Structure 1
Amino acid sequence: MDIEFGWSLDGTAWADAGVRTGPRGLLQLLQGRLGLTRPQLAPAVRTARAMTALAAADDPWSRASFTADPWATAAALLRARDAAVEAGAQLTPGPQLPARIAAITALDEQLQHAPGPADDLREVVDLLAGEADWPLGIEQIRCHEDPAALPGLWPALFAQLTAAGVRVERIVEGPTGQPELLLIEAEDEWTAAEAAARFLAGHDRADGAGLQVLATTGTVLLDQELHRRDLPALGIAAPSADRTAGQIIGLFLSIAVAPVDVQQLAAFLDLRVLDAPEDGGQHVGLVPARVRRQLLAALEQEPGVGGPAWRAALATLEADPDLPESAREVARWIDRTVTAPLETTELTPTRLLAVLEPLGTRLHRLGQGDPELLHAATHLQVLREVLEGLQPQRPLAPRELTRIIGATGGRSPSPFARPEAGAPWRSCARPAQLLPTGGAVLWWGAERPAPSAPVQWDPQETAALTRLGAHLLPPAQLAALETDAGLRALRGARRIIAVRAAHRCEEPTAPHPLLAHLAAESTADGGTVEKVLEARTRPAADTVGPGSFHLADAARPLSIPPRTVIPPRPEDLTRTAAPAPHLLPRSLSYSQAETLLGCRQKWVYRHGLRIRPATGANVPTGNQMVGTLVHAVVEELVRAGAASAPSTERIRAEFTAQVPRLASELLLPGREAELAELRERAVRSLREFFDRLAAAGITITAAESGFERPLTLHLAGGEATVPFRGFRDVDAHDADGRPVVIDLKWTYAAKKYPDLFDTGEALQLASYAWSLGSDSADGAGTDVGYFLLSQGEFVSANPLLDPAGRTPLPLTQLWEKGRTGMEQALEAIRAGAVGARSGQILLDAGQDLSTPRREATRTYERAREAAASRGELVVDARCDYCDLALLCGLAGDRS
């Protein structure tokens, strides 16, 4: 076998003349020939064993660091130990060793069964140094570098290979040409990709020397441009730890460790991992579709676990006769995990292994042959090996566990890393891998690479390692090995067209250092490197002329499409369609009535066509979550009979009891102060609520009481009667027996509801009063009002509750206004003309979603005043929070 060896040739393709390889490839080949191959230990497993070894060594220099962060300390010292072994050092204890060298020596003494690449290299060198005559089957190794100038054990390895009969020769004659250099600089990666793809499409394929493509950055965008021109993709994309498969375990443990993050739970339930059809076109998730839907719906009702909604969802799944038993078992597993999560003091390897066992079973069941899930299963297996190697009962700190999970995941390959056959060029990913064909080289991504971070030794450590047998090169000499290899390969080209983006990921880039070296060879006339590079740089726009593209020897005709005129935002947001009587509702609620008055399009999309955000996106948070929580506290106090005069302690205890069920995210670390402030605010507010009602002689009779009353709508096609349904927050009666309805609101907009009351537009209160009526009564005698939970204030015409002296609401007239508005909206929907009233109000005022909220509020106030003069109601549908603003045309990029 004839081998061409270069320090930077790892990963290159085999050439016709033999094998081209670098240090890693040669070592693997020798291991195979010598029978030294073995399964490679995952780096995280080696770190775990190093952590155990460091605990046993108890080195004084690393003790404090190891106590604070065992995993990071073990990883750093293991990396330094491997660098010393690869350099050739015999790590034996001795006097006067520098502190770090003594620490890695102590680590090496205790480290067992954790061989890495450095140990593989030493093992090969030691075996070849023996007396046995090993038949290597290698006739010649031709080296681009002087073997004696290589670092560490490599000079010794080549000496042993020579002694074993392998002819080791230095390649003295190499490319000595001075290639023509042309730099194409684009403002962004998209423009650069277009220029490079045009060059490849227009290059003369009859060029006998052959074209090579050097891609030192990912080619995802370039591949898209190549596909547009019917050319195969290069398929170069870096692996990443941020893909779905690498995050499954971390996401699962975030819900298996207390406190449970309900938003993470929703993400886990909604996680799709396979593109196989499931239940009518959905994708397969870790959680079966029907289980996923039921549990997400429960979280939408109650953003916590263990409450009535959660238990009802589990009961529904258990009673479903069509649900497979395996799906029921998944539901039980998730319930066990989140209702009895591990406490942070229980994060021992033994408990973690038990918690992870069902996840492994589920991944194994789903991941037969799927690369992504196989990677997730491998991640889990490595994590198990790490945990099994640790002390079974030693609690892991949350930060330490997070480090372990990240380290065990590794990097999964990109789905775009798929080179395609049939390219009329040869491609490679490192400059040293170019062949000296004398042809052209297109260099894609000729930008400065991210700096590597090799282990650095100070002078005292260098001297100590040298005494231990290490062969260390100065950092500059070590870096020159790679630089010289790249320059040798680039000099074998006739022309180099380097294409780079001036900005990548919104950050400025710099040219690749090798370009400066090539430019330095052209400064014989006294010019500087900067001037040479500037003279040979062309903007990508200059490659496009009238009707054609020209770059070097590549030419391609171009046709310039007509300029696209971006249409302006429509002045009228109304959508028209065929009459749609089928969209008329079968039932209504106040929230639907409010939507009909505020934005008919929103009602059609959400209720008529059922276009809604994903359930996982609807898990309550923020003010909505807190409002639901405080409502539930009131409901429970009323149900338990404590509403007459609950004590501060009783209210606080009920609030605390409801948090895990309805606001579990407030229990997460870092939110203690927020939870305490909300609890005390709610306690003070509810004490005011109950005390003020008692002082006014008002007795609460029910909370969250449901109602349903037939609502007759007068439409052009005839009368339609639909049930009007909903829940009243608090029902009560005063000393005279008159009904009272209080609506609870948690909001920081303290002026909104007083303004609605004072202007006679509090339609929600009118609907509640109407719901208390009968065929012969409309509830006009009902005393209604708001209670602002955040401020602890009533908004009411009852002076015993609200001393502001407000005028009673005209309930009958207000409800009739609302009924008329609903009839007009539904009649327009039936006829197929659907407007977006709130958005239209903004547009008519020359405003949009970017308008500051204060200005938009004033616009709506003027619209409400104008509507009131016509006997109509205007509702602000809050377009700035609407999920459907893209559909009406108010939001989005018009281009």
Structure 2
Amino acid sequence: QITDSFLAVGVPGDLLKRLHPIWISARSVIATEQPSDQEPTAHSLEDLIATDNIAEIAPFDFSSEVTVVIPSQPQRLEWDIPANLLRDRDRSSATELETRLGCPLKWMMKYQANLYPSSVSQLPSGPRLYGLFLHSVLEQVFAGGGDLPNVENAVAAVTEVFDSKLKTEAAPLAQASEYATASELRGQLQFATEVLIGALAAGNYSIVGLEVKLDSAAFGRKLTGSIDCLAKRPDGKQAVIDFKFGRAAARGQMLADGKALQLATYAYASRDAADNFPAVAYLILNNGRFATPSGSALAGGGIEVLDGPPIKDVWNGFVAAIESCGDWLTTDAFVPARPLQVPADWPSGVELVLQDNLKSDETQSPCIYCDYSALCGLQPVD
């Protein structure tokens, strides 16, 4: 029973949710004590503030104040950073090299200024969580390498690890509300495993290992990172397989256009003593698409062969682009935020990372997982 005063506030976005039991009870009391033709409704706090309507919520008091909002950072296409504050690194990774070419500003923020978000904001969710978890399951099952298991045993093994590690490695997916999502992911992993093992068996490959550390150098720097899956045939020919979650069409297009730069970096690091590059492929974990370029195709069947250049040519083009686009690091030239520039202003080679025909609902690859979009002005701050 309400013996004094009661304030109910409507929250925007909650209109489709079930009414709170307290409001349901209060509404019936109001209708009894204050008969009216209109249904009692909660006030919108936003409307009350906007109209400075104090009387409507008496005896409760509130005040409103108009404040000038400072506009967010405007887009800055170029940044004047003194050259003596920038220095090259003693190591590189595939991601670092792509960032160096695609968005020097992001490279500077991450690898020179060492700006990082809090650890809480870095907790993965959605497709990022799904991909990381499926990667982890595959690694735990196949990291030891060796002869291939048959398809049935491989699927059973990944299913067992998926179920046993779900609560500890992907806790959000263990919630009752995420049961359907977890079940779908389990099925996707099972199918991707079936495709992977079947295709490797058809090409007479064995697995050397998963998350194989790079042991090479480029541009006078040590290469760091790891190969998702390294396979090998009895004749010594190797294959580098990169696991991805989502963007199947885009990954295939990258193979066809010679823009699979991460694969090219891994292939370069895995070349043999005679400078022969391995075969390469993408395995898309959420739909089982297994694609390889015709210029560096995996042997055997059960894999989609796309018309694409040799991965060695992709690497050589990548090297040439990086070497010709690095004046911002070695001179007094401005540090560019290249995704914000018009394609006509890009130096030759940047199109390996950035798209010059980006659709309205697409994002340049360096901007997809970027912590600095509010600094460059790409993302307005509310």
Match of 2:133 in 1: 629
Which of the numbers 330, 336, 339 marks the counterpart of 1:835? 336
Match of 1:649 in 2: 156
SS at match of 2:340: helix
Aligned partner of 1:628: which letter? L
* TM alignment of 1:558-707, pairs within 5 A: 573-580=77-84, 582-639=86-143, 643-645=148-150, 646-707=153-214
Which of the numbers 828, 848, 860 marks the counterpart of 2:355? 860
SS at match of 1:612: coil
* TM alignment of 1:517-556, pairs within 5 A: none
Shift of 1:876: 3.2
Match of 2:285 in 1: 789
Give me the whole-angstrom Cα distance separating, in 2, the residues matched to 1:611 and 1:601: 12
- After superposition, the Cα gap between the structure-2 partners of 1:568 and 1:844, relative to the gap in structure 1 and judged at 3 Å, is farther
- After superposition, the Cα gap between the structure-2 partners of 1:824 and 1:509, relative to the gap in structure 1 and judged at 3 Å, is farther
Percent pairwise identity:
22
Do the aligned partners of 1:502 and 1:508 also contact (CA within 8 Å) in 2? no
* TM alignment of 1:302-701, pairs within 5 A: 503-504=47-48, 509=53, 511-512=55-56, 573-580=77-84, 582-639=86-143, 643-645=148-150, 646-701=153-208
Give me the whole-angstrom Cα distance separating, in 2, the residues matched to 1:502 and 1:795: 53
Give me the whole-angstrom Cα distance separating, in 2, the residues matched to 1:592 and 1:654: 32
TM-score by length of 2: 0.73
Aligned partner of 1:702: which letter? G
Aligned partner of 2:337: which letter? A
Shift of 1:576: 1.8
Match of 1:73 in 2: none
Do the aligned partners of 1:769 and 1:779 also contact (CA within 8 Å) in 2? no
Shift of 1:679: 0.6
Name structure 1 gaps, 5 residues minimum: 1-78, 84-237, 239-449, 460-474, 477-500, 516-539, 542-563, 713-720, 846-858, 864-874
SS at match of 1:795: strand
- After superposition, the Cα gap between the structure-2 partners of 1:684 and 1:620, relative to the gap in structure 1 and judged at 3 Å, is same
- After superposition, the Cα gap between the structure-2 partners of 1:892 and 1:514, relative to the gap in structure 1 and judged at 3 Å, is closer
Shift of 1:589: 0.4
SS at match of 2:83: coil
Match of 2:377 in 1: 889
- After superposition, the Cα gap between the structure-2 partners of 1:828 and 1:687, relative to the gap in structure 1 and judged at 3 Å, is same
SS at match of 1:644: coil
Question: Is residue 877 of structure 1 aligned with residue 365 of structure 2?
Answer: yes
Which of the numbers 211, 236, 246 marks the counterpart of 1:737? 236
- After superposition, the Cα gap between the structure-2 partners of 1:454 and 1:758, relative to the gap in structure 1 and judged at 3 Å, is closer
Give me the whole-angstrom Cα distance separating, in 1, the residues matched to 2:96 and 2:320: 14
Aligned partner of 1:883: which letter? D
Question: Is residue 723 of structure 1 aligned with residue 227 of structure 2?
Answer: no
Shift of 1:843: 10
Do the aligned partners of 2:283 and 2:290 also contact (CA within 8 Å) in 1? yes
Give me the whole-angstrom Cα distance separating, in 1, the residues matched to 2:197 and 2:90: 38
Give me the whole-angstrom Cα distance separating, in 2, the residues matched to 1:678 and 1:639: 21
- After superposition, the Cα gap between the structure-2 partners of 1:505 and 1:785, relative to the gap in structure 1 and judged at 3 Å, is farther
Match of 1:426 in 2: none
Give me the whole-angstrom Cα distance separating, in 2, the residues matched to 1:884 and 1:696: 44
SS at match of 1:761: coil
Do the aligned partners of 1:632 and 1:658 also contact (CA within 8 Å) in 2? no
Superposed CA deviations along residues 205-224 of structure 1, whole A, max 9, x for unmatched, are: xxxxxxxxxxxxxxxxxxxx
- After superposition, the Cα gap between the structure-2 partners of 1:512 and 1:700, relative to the gap in structure 1 and judged at 3 Å, is closer
Which of the numbers 285, 300, 314 marks the counterpart of 1:814? 314
Do the aligned partners of 2:231 and 2:239 also contact (CA within 8 Å) in 1? yes
Superposed CA deviations along residues 82-131 of structure 1, whole A, max 9, x for unmatched, are: x7xxxxxxxxxxxxxxxxxxxxxxxxxxxxxxxxxxxxxxxxxxxxxxxx
Superposed CA deviations along residues 834-879 of structure 1, whole A, max 9, x for unmatched, are: 111122148989xxxxxxxxxxxxx92548xxxxxxxxxxx93353
Do the aligned partners of 1:644 and 1:694 also contact (CA within 8 Å) in 2? no
Superposed CA deviations along residues 567-626 of structure 1, whole A, max 9, x for unmatched, are: 9956x6011222136431121101101111211100100111101111111112211211
Shift of 1:881: 4.7
Do the aligned partners of 1:587 and 1:723 also contact (CA within 8 Å) in 2? yes
Which of the numbers 258, 267, 279 marks the counterpart of 1:760? 258
Structure whose CA Rg is larger? 1
Shift of 1:783: 1.0
Match of 1:397 in 2: none
TM-score by length of 1: 0.33
Aligned partner of 1:511: which letter? A
Give me the whole-angstrom Cα distance separating, in 2, the residues matched to 1:502 and 1:861: 42
Do the aligned partners of 2:154 and 2:197 also contact (CA within 8 Å) in 1? no
SS at match of 1:700: strand
Q: Which protein has greater RCO, CA pairs closer than 8 Å, 6+ apart?
A: 2
Give me the whole-angstrom Cα distance separating, in 1, the residues matched to 2:158 and 2:326: 44
SS at match of 1:755: helix
Aligned partner of 1:644: which letter? P
- After superposition, the Cα gap between the structure-2 partners of 1:801 and 1:655, relative to the gap in structure 1 and judged at 3 Å, is farther
SS at match of 1:891: coil
Do the aligned partners of 1:795 and 1:802 also contact (CA within 8 Å) in 2? no
Aligned partner of 1:697: which letter? N
Give me the whole-angstrom Cα distance separating, in 2, the residues matched to 1:726 and 1:777: 23
Shift of 1:566: 8.2
Match of 1:201 in 2: none
Superposed CA deviations along residues 658-702 of structure 1, whole A, max 9, x for unmatched, are: 222321110112111111111112112211211221122111111
Question: Is residue 708 of structure 1 aligned with residue 203 of structure 2?
Answer: no
Give me the whole-angstrom Cα distance separating, in 1, the residues matched to 2:72 and 2:284: 45
Aligned partner of 1:675: which letter? A
- After superposition, the Cα gap between the structure-2 partners of 1:507 and 1:818, relative to the gap in structure 1 and judged at 3 Å, is farther
- After superposition, the Cα gap between the structure-2 partners of 1:675 and 1:506, relative to the gap in structure 1 and judged at 3 Å, is farther
Shift of 1:887: 1.6
SS at match of 1:614: coil
- After superposition, the Cα gap between the structure-2 partners of 1:823 and 1:503, relative to the gap in structure 1 and judged at 3 Å, is same
Match of 1:93 in 2: none
Shift of 1:637: 1.6
Do the aligned partners of 1:728 and 1:743 also contact (CA within 8 Å) in 2? yes
Do the aligned partners of 2:173 and 2:181 also contact (CA within 8 Å) in 1? yes
Shift of 1:740: 1.1
Match of 1:529 in 2: none
Match of 1:14 in 2: none
Aligned partner of 2:149: which letter? S
* TM alignment of 1:211-226, pairs within 5 A: none
- After superposition, the Cα gap between the structure-2 partners of 1:503 and 1:754, relative to the gap in structure 1 and judged at 3 Å, is same
Do the aligned partners of 2:291 and 2:303 also contact (CA within 8 Å) in 1? no
Do the aligned partners of 2:73 and 2:377 also contact (CA within 8 Å) in 1? no
Shift of 1:886: 2.0
- After superposition, the Cα gap between the structure-2 partners of 1:674 and 1:809, relative to the gap in structure 1 and judged at 3 Å, is same
Do the aligned partners of 2:290 and 2:304 also contact (CA within 8 Å) in 1? no
Shift of 1:628: 1.5
Superposed CA deviations along residues 761-811 of structure 1, whole A, max 9, x for unmatched, are: 11111111110236x54442x111111111112111336345544345323
Aligned partner of 1:815: which letter? W
- After superposition, the Cα gap between the structure-2 partners of 1:642 and 1:881, relative to the gap in structure 1 and judged at 3 Å, is same
- After superposition, the Cα gap between the structure-2 partners of 1:644 and 1:580, relative to the gap in structure 1 and judged at 3 Å, is farther
Give me the whole-angstrom Cα distance separating, in 2, the residues matched to 1:669 and 1:686: 26
Give me the whole-angstrom Cα distance separating, in 1, the residues matched to 2:344 and 2:54: 46
Give me the whole-angstrom Cα distance separating, in 2, the residues matched to 1:844 and 1:889: 18
Do the aligned partners of 1:732 and 1:741 also contact (CA within 8 Å) in 2? yes
Give me the whole-angstrom Cα distance separating, in 1, the residues matched to 2:70 and 2:209: 61
SS at match of 1:690: helix
Give me the whole-angstrom Cα distance separating, in 1, the residues matched to 2:51 and 2:208: 64
